[in-house]
């Protein structure tokens, strides 16, 4: 976690559906400065602006912060463990575990990871952060046991090309915990 201590950031996160909400405005602001979450009701938040609003976290961000000792998740007002949060997330979100493995690995490598839904992928990935650059990568997560057809590969390339981003296929082996990446880039010949 950056320059803030875990104790300084420790915060309750209220789980509602498949989102986490941070109501402590001061801590929400500190987390947002670290490119975690988005201020509630702000479509395109500016990283250089301080918002007086609760912070909305993805379940990936919430579990990540829980594992780091920062988030204390609450469901119906009852604090739950990181293990229980992971089980809850797996029940409500398809392929949560494998996608979380990719989210966590990319975040640990210093990337900023956001939803890729509007681009037809699982994640958008930034080197600097949203508001500072356009995301250079869109990431689609698959299991190493999945079968990919040629048309699937073409589709991945088209996703990246249509939004001018590099399309990344993250291949997860849940048994070993390994993730391999294939990057697709369109070139003019």
Residues 17 and 78 in one domain: yes
Final residue in a domain of this structure, among 47, 71, 93: 93
Residues 87 and 113 in one domain: no
Q: What local confidence, expressed as pLDDT, does residue 96 receive?
A: 98
Same domain assignment for residues 31 and 8 = yes
Q: In this predicted structure, which of 40-44, 83-87, 139-143, 164-168 has the lowest mean pLDDT?
A: 164-168
Q: Which residues constitute the domain of residue 173? A: 95-189
pLDDT digits (tens, 9 = 90+) for 127-149: 999 989 999 999 999 999 998 88
**Could you tell me if 114 and 130 lie in one domain?**
yes
The answer to whether residue 155 scores a pLDDT higher than 80 is no
Q: Is residue 103 located within the same domain as residue 77?
A: no
Shared domain for 66 and 122, answered yes or no, is no
| CATH number of the domain residue 167 falls in | 3.40.1350.10
Q: Supply the residues annotated as catalytic.
A: 126, 134, 165
In the chain, the percentage of residues whose pLDDT exceeds 90 is 72
What pLDDT score does 74 carry? 98
How sure is the predictor about 161, in pLDDT bands with cuts at 50, 70 and 90?
A: low
Tell me the average pLDDT across 26-46.
94
| pTM of the model as a whole | 0.90
Residues 108 and 187 in one domain: yes
DSSP 91-108: HHSTTHHHHHHHHHHHHH
- The total number of structural domains in the chain stands at 2
Q: Do 4 and 75 have their domain in common?
A: yes
In the predicted model, is pLDDT for residue 1 greater than 60?
no
**CA angle (30, 127, 56) in 5-degree steps:** 35
3-state secondary structure of 134: coil
Instruction: From residue 113, give the alpha-carbon distance in Å to each of 26, 51, 74, 110, 119.
Output: 22, 20, 23, 9, 14
Task: Identify whether residues 135 and 162 lie together within a single domain.
Answer: yes
Asked which of 46, 62, 93 is the last residue of a domain, the reply is 93
Clarify whether residues 78 and 99 are in a common domain. no
């Amino acid at each position: 976690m950056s320059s803030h201590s875990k104790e300084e950031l420790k915060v309750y996160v209220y789980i509602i559906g498949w989102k986490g909400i941070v109501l402590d405005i001061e801590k929400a602001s500190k987390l947002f400065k670290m490119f975690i979450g988005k201020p509630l009701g702000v479509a395109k938040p500016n990283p250089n602006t301080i918002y007086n609003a609760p912070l909305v976290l993805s379940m990936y961000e919430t579990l990540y912060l829980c594992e780091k000792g920062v988030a204390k998740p609450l469901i119906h007002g009852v604090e739950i463990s990181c293990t229980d949060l992971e089980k809850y997330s797996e029940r409500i979100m398809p392929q949560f575990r494998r996608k979380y493995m990719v989210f966590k690995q990319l975040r640990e490598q210093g990337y900023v990871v956001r939803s890729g839904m509007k681009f037809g992928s699982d994640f958008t990935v930034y080197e600097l952060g949203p508001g500072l650059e356009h995301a250079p990568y869109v990431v689609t997560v698959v299991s190493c046991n999945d079968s990919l057809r040629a048309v699937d590969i073409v589709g991945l390339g088209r996703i990246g090309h249509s939004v001018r981003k590099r399309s990344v296929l993250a291949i997860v082996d849940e048994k070993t915990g390994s993730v391999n990446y294939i990057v697709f880039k369109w070139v003019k010949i």
